[in-house]
């Protein structure tokens, strides 16, 4: 996201020269990138995983388990592990659960835009959205608490893979897999940022 900003008013540089003068048609279209921190969703956690890279490849631990629970995610008990493939151009959203917490892993060699939207009525961050680019060389676990709508977009040219651990087992008869329209936060939410 960018904001309109005034032209740079610096008067000195290491070279001793003043700022460049820009043509009026460029000057009126200038924006400055907004670097202020974005609001975070209460309860969402991103855990960086150590990734050991050498000339022969790489190695990472996704989770160390203690009695069915990931060591770094207290209170989260794994009841199902799911693998998913997201084809190019596909948006898988919005999903929300009343009972289930999710723990997502996107392999470092993949890349997905992950969207989060706090739809919990009693949350201090109710209504807040977050976009996270996962994979792309990073090794991370993303904890998504129940009541936080979530989804993923693959606007890129190759399929992307994801592994997720669930606190509940899927049941078609008594489903907790609830849906909101994919464009509830606007179509642009799922697109790469240009500029």
Q: What is the pLDDT along the chain (195 residues), one digit of tens a residue?
A: 444 444 444 445 566 678 888 999 998 988 888 888 889 999 999 999 999 999 999 898 998 888 888 888 888 999 999 999 999 999 999 999 999 999 999 999 999 999 999 999 999 999 999 999 999 999 999 999 999 999 999 999 999 999 999 999 999 999 999 999 999 999 999 998 877
Please report, in angstroms and rounded to a whole number, the separation of the first and last CA atoms in the chain: 9
Q: What is the DSSP letter of 172?
A: S
Give the C-alpha separation, 16 to 7, whole Å. 18
Structural domains in the chain, CATH included, are: 45-183 (2.60.120.10)
Q: Say if CB 141 and CB 76 are below 8 A apart.
A: no
Q: Which two tokens stand for residue 14?
A: 């290491």
pLDDT recorded at residue 149: 98
Question: 70: Cβ–Cβ under 8 A, 6 or more apart, which residues?
Answer: 63, 64, 76, 78, 103, 141, 165
Exposed e or buried b per residue across 158-187, where buried means at least 16 C-beta atoms within 10 angstroms of its C-beta: eebbbebbbbbeeeeeeebeeeeebeebee
pLDDT recorded at residue 8: 47
Q: What is the DSSP letter of 19?
A: P
pLDDT recorded at residue 13: 58
Question: 108: Cβ–Cβ under 8 A, 6 or more apart, which residues?
Answer: 51, 58, 60, 135, 136, 137, 138, 139
pLDDT recorded at residue 7: 45
pLDDT recorded at residue 14: 66
Q: Structure pTM?
A: 0.84
The answer to whether the bond into 60 is cis (omega within 30° of 0) is no
Q: Say if CB 60 and CB 119 are below 8 A apart.
A: no
Name the one residue in this structure whose structure tokens are 């993923």: 152
């Amino acid at each position: 996201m960018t904001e309109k900003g005034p032209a740079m008013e610096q008067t000195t540089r290491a070279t001793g020269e003043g700022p460049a003068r820009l043509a009026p048609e460029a000057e009126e279209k200038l924006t400055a990138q907004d670097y202020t921190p974005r609001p975070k969703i209460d309860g969402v956690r991103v855990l960086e995983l150590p990734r050991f890279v050498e000339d022969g490849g790489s190695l990472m631990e996704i989770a160390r388990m203690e009695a069915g629970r990931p060591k770094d995610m207290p209170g989260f008990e794994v009841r199902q592990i799911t693998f998913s493939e997201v084809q190019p151009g596909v948006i898988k959203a919005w999903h929300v659960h009343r009972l289930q917490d999710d723990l997502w892993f996107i392999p470092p060699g993949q890349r997905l835009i992950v969207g989060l939207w706090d739809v919990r009525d009693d949350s201090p961050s109710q209504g807040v959205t977050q976009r996270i680019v996962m994979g792309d060389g990073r090794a991370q676990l993303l904890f998504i608490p129940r009541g936080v709508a979530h989804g993923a977009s693959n606007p890129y040219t190759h399929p992307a893979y994801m592994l997720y651990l669930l606190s509940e087992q899927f049941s078609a008869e008594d489903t907790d897999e609830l849906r909101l329209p994919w464009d509830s936060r606007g179509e642009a939410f799922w697109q790469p940022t240009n500029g």
